[in-house]
Amino acid sequence: MAAYELHYWPGLQGRGEFVRLALEEAGAPYRDIALDDGVGGDTGIDDPAIITPAFALPVLRHGKRVIGQTAAILLYLGDRHGLAPRSEAGRLWTHQLQLTIADVVTEAHDAHHPIGSGLYYEDQKPEAKRRAADFCAERVPKFLQWFEAVLERNPKGAAHLVGARVTYAETSLFQLVAGLRYAFPKASERALRKTPKVAALAEAVAGRPRIAAYLASERRIPFNEQGIFRHYPELDL
Amino acid sequence: MAAYELHYWPGLQGRGEFVRLALEEAGAPYRDIALDDGVGGDTGIDDPAIITPAFALPVLRHGKRVIGQTAAILLYLGDRHGLAPRSEAGRLWTHQLQLTIADVVTEAHDAHHPIGSGLYYEDQKPEAKRRAADFCAERVPKFLQWFEAVLERNPKGAAHLVGARVTYAETSLFQLVAGLRYAFPKASERALRKTPKVAALAEAVAGRPRIAAYLASERRIPFNEQGIFRHYPELDL
């Protein structure tokens, strides 16, 4: 089958990064349309011949398949590249972890855009400050403590979220921790001090050979203030 | 295997309703813990023996399985009750539709709680008014038009989202439309006039024998201002 095509906005990690990390860990060849072309990708909505258009980017194209929604893309890749268990229970649990990570990601975005993604940050700064205060004080610790509990309860040991192998939920948790550290350095370090197993897992993922090579490459777009995780010091509460 | 147990908050439809509708359409016996007991359900986080605790409700328990995240629960039920195609592509597409519905649901919630779910609506009314204006003017039409395009492109006809049969994505789209109509009657009617296939599908789902019986029963909790879809007239913009 053809190589994967990842369609995403240019110049930012965004939700596309969760797909990139899974593809990199899998060692799967892919074409990063935004990087290659310098233009945003394509959801398929403008082409009536595509019967499964996506609502939004990222989109993964693979042969005739057009798949949207980050978690659905990862479900697809997980099966193909051993990035999730084969058992139904393990596969669903991995997906449940990913969906919870996706919830934190949405909240991290809304911390700087609580009123609407169509408006500039500058037009919603007071609201962002209120929302970020709640996110930093309540939500980040609660989410990270839940992941810590998941690691503590894994019968195969706290080095992994699911069983004894890396899954796409782990490359995603790495990205979540990296993003929180970039955007909210004080708040996230405060929370991570109480969730050492989460911090250790993020470090272990960063040290995996393919992930380390990717992070050191030019393919890894640096965090910036166009992405989901934005460092506005006034929001790090 | 044991009957299903749905754990959810008492007295509101919330995200639990998407699970209830799938179970009702399937004719699957289930115990609704909140309804039966008058107390909220249980994520499993307080019981260290549960190795797959959920971050939040709803939770479906089935024998030894403890499953969280609405979309993951529906993925599980879809396979078991023929509420999604058996083919990998159809199954994933159904899930992608559900994940997009979940995104609208989160935005519908945030329209009245843009600053934080831990705060009262009364403490974020000005912010809610700004966010709801964006939600009603931009987001609701965009989402409904996307579902309209999906229906128009279905090679099996516009009566269904996926293939020629009902799926959990359809019971969920019914609930989304019902919720939007309750919470934002003016804005949603305005959008639905331009998306007649979405409106027709919602009506068709409501008329399915098991769904109609459920909606007429006492098991259906009325919409109210504790749920996700809240009717605050000042937000119907």
Q: Do A52 and B127 touch (CB under 8 A)?
A: no
pLDDT, residue A1, reads 59
Task: Find the helix packing angle between B185-193 and B196-206, rounded to 10°.
Answer: 110
Sequence-distant (≥ 6) Cβ neighbours of residue A176 within 8 angstroms: A101, A104, A105
Single-letter code of the amino acid located at B58: P
Beta-sheet strand order (sheet of A30-32): A30-32, A4-7, A59-62, A65-68
Q: Is B154 in Cβ contact with A138 (below 8 Å)? A: no
CATH of the domain at B116: 1.20.1050.10
Do B55 and A146 count as a contact with CB atoms less than 8 A apart?
yes
Domain annotation covers residue A225: no
Picking from B42, B63, B80, the residue at the C-terminal end of a domain is B80
Q: What is the C-alpha R_g of chain B?
A: 18
Residues A68 and A94 in one domain: no
Domain boundary pick from A80, A113, A145: A80
Same domain, residue pair B157 and B173: yes
| pLDDT in the model for residue B75 | 98
B146, B152, B155, B157: CA torsion to nearest 10? 120
- Give the residue among B95, B128, B101, B118 at the shortest CA–CA distance from B233: B128
pLDDT of A34 above 90? no
Q: What is the mean pLDDT of residues A152-172?
A: 98
Residues B97 and B209 reside in one and the same domain:
yes
Q: What is the pLDDT of residue B40?
A: 80
B30: which strand partners? B4
* Each residue's pLDDT expressed in tens, for chain B with a length of 237 residues: 679 999 999 999 999 999 999 999 999 999 999 887 778 889 999 999 999 999 999 999 999 999 999 999 999 999 999 999 999 999 999 999 999 999 999 999 999 999 998 889 999 999 999 999 999 999 999 999 999 999 999 999 999 999 999 999 999 999 999 999 999 999 999 999 999 999 999 999 999 999 999 999 999 999 999 999 999 999 999
> Would B225 be classed as within a structural domain?
no
Which of B46, B75, B87 is best to mutate for the A interface (most A CBs within 10 A)?
A: B75
Domain end: A25, A58, A80, which one? A80
Under a CB-based contact definition with an 8 Å cutoff, are residues A169 and A97 in contact? yes
How many independent structural domains does chain A possess?
A: 2
B45 and B112 together in one domain: no
Beta bridge partners of B61: B5, B66
Residue B105 falls inside a structural domain: yes
pLDDT > 90: percent of chain A: 94
- Which positions ≥6 away from B107 have C-beta within 8 Å? B135, B139
- How many residues comprise chain A? 237
Let me know: does B160 contact B166? Beta carbons within 8 Å.
yes
pLDDT in the model for residue B2:
73
Would you say residue A171 lies in a domain? yes
* Per-position DSSP letters for B95-144, written without gaps between them: HHHHHHHHHHHHHHHHHH-SS-TTS-GGGGHHHHHHHHHHIIIIIHHHHH
CB atoms within 10 A of CB A121: 14
Q: Would A228 be classed as within a structural domain?
A: no
How far, in Å, CA of A8 to CA of B125, rounded?
A: 35
Cβ-based burial of A182 (10 A; exposed 0-12, middle 13-18, buried ≥19): middle
Question: Do residues A46 and A54 lie in contact, with contact meaning Cβ atoms separated by under 8 Å?
Answer: no
Asked whether residue A47 falls in the same domain as residue A115, the answer is: no
Q: Is A119 a domain residue? A: yes
Query: What is the Cα–Cα distance from B93 to B75, expressed in whole angstroms?
Result: 11
Residues of chain B positioned with their CB less than 8 A from the CB of A45: 146, 149
Cβ contacts of A50 on chain B, cutoff 8 Å: 153
Chain B residues in contact with A115 (beta carbon < 8 A): 114, 127, 130-131, 134
Give the C-alpha separation, B76 to A89, whole Å: 9
User: What's the CATH number where B16 sits?
Assistant: 3.40.30.10
Asked if the structure places residue A95 within a domain, the reply is: yes
Q: Are residues B160 and B105 in the same domain?
A: yes
Burial B195-210 (b: 16+ CB within 10 A, else e): bebbbebbeebbebee
Residue B76 and residue B96 in one domain: no
A94 and A133 share one domain = yes
Q: H/E element holding B68?
A: strand B65-68
Shortest Cα distance from B100 to chain A (angstroms)?
7
Same domain assignment for residues A122 and A178: yes
pTM of the model: 0.98
Q: Measured between alpha carbons, how far is B53 from B61 in angstroms, rounded to an integer?
A: 11
Residue-wise pLDDT tens digits, A6-28: 999 999 999 999 999 999 999 99
Residues A40 and A134 in one domain: no
Q: Contact A114/B100, CB-based, under 8 Å?
A: no
Q: Report DSSP state, residue A31.
A: E
Reduce the secondary structure of B182-229 to three states and give it as a string: HHCHHHHHHHHHCCHHHHHHHHHHHCCHHHHHHHHCCCCCCCCCCCCC
**Model ipTM over 0.95:** yes
User: How is residue B104 written in tokens?
Assistant: 């609208």
Residue A132: strand, helix, or coil: helix
The yes-or-no verdict on residue A230 having pLDDT over 90 is yes
**Cα–Cα distance between A108 and A178 in angstroms, integer?**
12
A105-109, A196-200, B30-34: which range is least confident on average? B30-34
Instruction: Give the chain A residue whose CA is nearest to the CA of B64.
Output: A89
Task: Please give the residue range of the domain that contains residue B199.
Answer: 88-220+231-235
For residues A55 and B103, the answer to whether their CB atoms sit within 8 Å is yes
Q: Same structural domain for residues B92 and B69?
A: no
Residue pairs between chains A and B whose CB atoms are closer than 8 Å: 112
Amino acid at A103: D
Strand pairing partners for B68?
B59
Report the residue of chain B nearest A65, measured CA to CA: B89
Residues A165 and A187 in one domain: yes
In a domain, A29, yes or no: yes
